[in-house]
Structure 1
């Protein structure tokens, strides 16, 4: 995703947002290096935004999977 596309779809600034919670996590060094590379190439403005984007994508995929699963059950009943 280009930085321009990211900036167009990203949520408002999170700095100082009372709805945000700080999370500490451990991930393999290779993965954080890949995230840092995405920041360096301009795909994301910083590591936090890259990780938030990955979490949003994971949540959207889960929601899509649930929707597809419930749709399949609906068709099976017909």
Structure 2
């Protein structure tokens, strides 16, 4: 497994910590891996036909 360093806003990491504390995830890393898996599955499951346009999310750099 590769190690990745990323910067996350304090409020978001606090939410992740709450999910760990309530037992939803065993640790922060697994919570973040789960979010990445979900994002990738959404991308893969949403393959569109060339004639179809799908709304894409846009993210603002913080």
Query: Where on the TM-score scale, by shorter chain, does this alignment land: which range?
Result: 0.7 to 0.9
Task: Give the TM-score, by structure 2 length.
Answer: 0.77
Higher relative contact order (CA 8 A, sep 6+): 1
Supply the distance in 2 between the matched residues of 1:23 and 1:56 (Cα, whole angstroms): 15
Runs of 4+ in 1 over 6 A off after TM superposition: none
How many positions carry a matched residue from both structures? 51
TM-score scaled to structure 1, two decimals?
0.62
Q: CA RMSD for the aligned pairs? A: 1.2
Structure 1: runs of 5 or more not aligned = 1-19, 74-78
Whose helix proportion is higher, 1 or 2? 1
Determine which structure has more spread, i.e. the larger CA radius of gyration.
1
* Unpaired stretches in structure 2, ≥5 consecutive residues: 52-62
